[in-house]
């Protein structure tokens, strides 16, 4: 039957590394916003300038709640990719090797070519800004 696995674990590792880096950048960028807004809180009377108070409230919500939640989901996705590709590779190898012992029970017509998965075509890759391409 042969190994039909078509994902490159090293390529997935590169993608996962890029995703973890994006998570760190998201944290770093939001930290700049939070730190810069600290100076804003004492610069005006927020009771009189309610827009400033709303901005400070929004920054606090993003910094304390939304960014950590987004980062959790982003990193969870990266971890899922790594585990899924490794697990799928192991399962595919196992099934292929185990099926060989039963293959004779399912005779094939010698005149018909065996099925095969096409190699990934780089033209089908989705470009990313970090130079990492993800095949679709």
Structure confidence at residue 91 (pLDDT): 86
Question: Exposed/middle/buried for 16, CB within 10 Å: 0-12, 13-18, 19+?
Answer: buried
Mean pLDDT, range 104-116, rounded to an integer:
81
Q: Are 99 and 62 a contacting pair, CB within 8 Å? A: no
Nearest Cα to Cα of residue 53 among 41, 62, 65? 41
Condensed to tens digits (0 to 9), the pLDDT of residues 41-95 reads 777 776 777 788 888 889 989 998 899 999 999 999 999 999 988 888 888 888 8
Higher pLDDT, 7 or 72: 72
Q: Are 18 and 127 a contacting pair, CB within 8 Å? A: no
Rounded to two decimals, the pTM is 0.59
Query: Where exactly are the structural domains of the chain?
Result: 67-100
């Amino acid at each position: 039957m042969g190994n039909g696995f078509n994902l490159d674990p090293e390529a997935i590792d590169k993608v996962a590394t890029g995703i973890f880096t994006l998570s760190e950048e998201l944290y770093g960028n939001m930290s700049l916003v939070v730190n810069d807004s600290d100076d804003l809180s004492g610069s005006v009377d927020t009771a009189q300038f309610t827009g400033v108070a709303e901005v400070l409230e929004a920054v606090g919500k993003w910094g304390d709640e939304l960014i950590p939640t987004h980062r959790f989901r982003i990193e969870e996705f990266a971890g899922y990719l790594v585990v899924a590709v490794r697990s799928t590779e192991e399962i595919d190898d196992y099934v292929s090797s185990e099926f060989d012992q039963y293959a004779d029970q399912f005779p094939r017509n010698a005149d018909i070519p065996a099925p095969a998965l096409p190699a990934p075509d780089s033209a089908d890759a989705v470009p990313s800004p970090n130079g990492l391409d993800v095949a679709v």
